[in-house]
Chains A and B, each alone.
Chain A
């Protein structure tokens, strides 16, 4: 019984730790290309949103990937993701 309770608690804790990055996985082998491509795609979607709802959904996607890059990859690739995203957003 105790084991089951512990397992349930662990599952709930694990699920809630996922946050925004839940479901987003970055391919470590191709992280550099992904940093360039995804930052451009996601930031462009934010900039080109046609209404508030579209903006909110594009922002959520962008922030999920930002979190995924920060937590899964880090280092130079994460910095590139940030810099490229800011470059697109600042063009507005």
Chain B
């Protein structure tokens, strides 16, 4: 008798343990899929999507453990496109959020640039023009360096294919890509500095910066033969 009671007690514990798992109440695959669809319609963020996916996974688990594989498969078949659609909606909202953040950043960066231009101490037109020219020379030198890196990168990309994609070369390619990106940022920064000076002059003097050419520069320009109309047409 004691043995039977012990066996019964064990059985009760076993049932309790299995039913204590994360069993979510289910009805029929169609009705539960509808419930998931209803929740999925409101998904706008990653966290909301994860919640709906978690609930769907729990329901599928319940079908698999409490009923049979056929019901679980049926539920999965119904729910999969709903979750995919919710994922697309989440992506759409994420893109919209990123666009919004980009516009916020742009607004404040525009205002900061204007502030810098207004508060910049300017010298004579000749002095400022010399700064702009120096920036142009600096930018050209950076462009040359970037072209050199680009050429090395292209050569390396071809060598990688021939060498069968060794990791060391792939790493080197990554480094060159990073260097190219850094160079592009440097060029952008130099160009921006130059533009701020031009803008500062425009704002503070109410006209574009204008510098008279030196006699040597005038002579240089005069030496350049104008192109004939037929040359331009070619």
Contact = CB atoms under 8 A, between A and B. Distances in A.
B107 A46 contact: no
A92 B100 contact: no
Contact of B114 (A51, A59, A66, A78): A59
Instruction: For chain A, give the interface size range.
Output: 10 to 19
Contact of A89 (B99, B100, B111, B118): B111
A55 B115 contact: yes
A90 B118 contact: no
A85 B118 CA distance: 19
A86 interface: yes
A46 B106 contact: no
Q: How large is the interface on B (under 10, 10 to 19, 20 to 34, 35 or more residues)?
A: 10 to 19
Contacts of A82: 100, 103-104, 106-107
Q: Is the interface of A mostly helix, strand, loop or mixed?
A: helix
A33 B107 CA distance: 20
Contact of B103 (A49, A59, A79): A79
A92 B199 contact: yes
A14 interface: no
Given A79-B100, A79-B103, A83-B103, A52 B111 contact: no
Contacts of A89: 107, 110-111, 114
22 contacts: A49-B203, A52-B118, A52-B119, A55-B114, A55-B118, A56-B115, A59-B111, A59-B114, A63-B111, A79-B99, A79-B103, A82-B100, A82-B106, A82-B107, A83-B103, A85-B107, A86-B103, A86-B106, A86-B107, A86-B110, A89-B107, A89-B114
Interface of B: 99-100, 103-104, 106-107, 110-111, 114-115, 118-119, 199, 203
